[in-house]
Each structure stands twice: as C-alpha cells, then as structure tokens.
Amino acid sequence: MFRWPLTSAKGVEFELRLLELRDAEALYALADANREHIRPWLPWIAWTHSAGDVKKFIRAALKQFTEGDGFHAGIWVGGEIAGCVGLHAVDWQNQHVAVGYWLGKEWEGRGLVTEGTRAVARYCFETYGLERVEIRAAVENKRSRAVAERLGFTLEGVLRRTQRVDGRWLDNAVYSMLRGEAERLGG
C-alpha cells in the first residue's frame, strides 16, 4: 500500500502509510494510552475498546480507499505510529472533503500533522481534483486550529453546538481551502 515519505518544518523525517489491518494493535495501544488527550475533541475514542474495534475502522477505511473515496493514513516515525491523518468520505457531487487528524501527546510539537495535512490537501486537489478541502476544529482546540491557520486555510465561521463530545457541546470553527488557493499550501 502507499508510503509517503515527508520531512516536517521541524526537521523530523516521517511517513504517511495507508492504514492496514496489521496496524490495529499498535494504533489501539497509542489511542488507549492517549484517551485523556483525545477525549475532549474526538467522539470515537469513547466507543473504541479494543484492537478489534480499530480493525473494524481500518476495514472500512481500506474499502473507502479502494473505492477511490478517500483514505486514512498512519503517521509513522521510524518504526512507531504517532497518530493518523485521514479523509472523511468525499462528497463527489459537490467535490469537497474534510480532513481529520490526531497525534499521541508525546508526538505533538514536531510539525508532523501540519506537514501530513499539507500533503493530504495537495493530494485532494491534484489527484482527486476536488474543489474544496475543509478542516473543522472545536473553537477551543487551539492546536488543531493552528494547523489549519498555518497551512493558509480560510476561517469561514463558527457552527454553534454542532458536535456533542464527551458530554459537552462543541462549537466548530470551519476552515476551507479552494483549489484555486492551493499554492498557499507552499512547503
């Protein structure tokens, strides 16, 4: 499956690699060790209780990829999985897609997600030929919003109470980039 070697602005060499079933144990171990870190922002951690649950997610993600409908990649540094970056299902009618990401806490601050998201956004424009790539982040999620802002996405507004995560309502900041703006990705 695909391997995508990248170097972050902080000089860290890493790879995006399409998630495969054999990654389930390592990915579950990372998510399980980072429950407190992930729980305020991402709902799926609440119903992820085993490597078997992660396998179900990876099976669906592989089907999504083979159907040309987006993908989910592990972020690998050396032999260790640091997190994921992936695409929600592509809306082909309207030619847009949303990107999502997360890292284990110990992997923050190295530029992995900014660089990984840059590569994925470029792929959306160049390979899928999409018109719009979106990033949504809770208003209070400063680190996630900083990724979108660093990459030159435009803040369109705030969707109020659009997500219920960990018993709280989240307002989401919506960022987008259009195909004609892709040169802003730079890098």
Ligand X SMILES: CC(C)(COP(=O)(O)OP(=O)(O)OC[C@H]1O[C@@H](n2cnc3c(N)ncnc32)[C@H](O)[C@@H]1OP(=O)(O)O)[C@@H](O)C(=O)NCCC(=O)NCCS
Residues that bind ligand X (CB under 6 A): 9-10, 37-38, 41-42, 101-103, 108-114, 137, 141, 143-144, 147, 150
CA–CA separation, 163 vs 44, rounded Å? 12
Is the C-alpha dihedral spanning 68, 5, 24, 42 positive or negative?
negative
* Opening angle at CA 84, ends 78 and 85, nearest 5: 120
CB of 159 to ligand X, least distance (A): 13
The smaller minimum CB distance to ligand X, of residues 37 and 184, is found at 37
The smaller minimum CB distance to ligand X, of residues 45 and 130, is found at 45
The smaller minimum CB distance to ligand X, of residues 102 and 153, is found at 102
- Radius of gyration (C-alpha) of the chain in whole angstroms: 16
The smaller minimum CB distance to ligand X, of residues 120 and 137, is found at 137
CB of 28 to ligand X, least distance (A): 16
- Cα separation of the two ends of the chain: 25
Q: Evaluate whether 171 touches 162 at the Cβ level (below 8 Å).
A: yes
* Closest C-alpha among 127, 118, 128 to residue 185: 118
CB of 146 to ligand X, least distance (A): 6
CB of 103 to ligand X, least distance (A): 4
The smaller minimum CB distance to ligand X, of residues 21 and 89, is found at 89
CA–CA separation, 144 vs 88, rounded Å? 16
CB of 12 to ligand X, least distance (A): 9
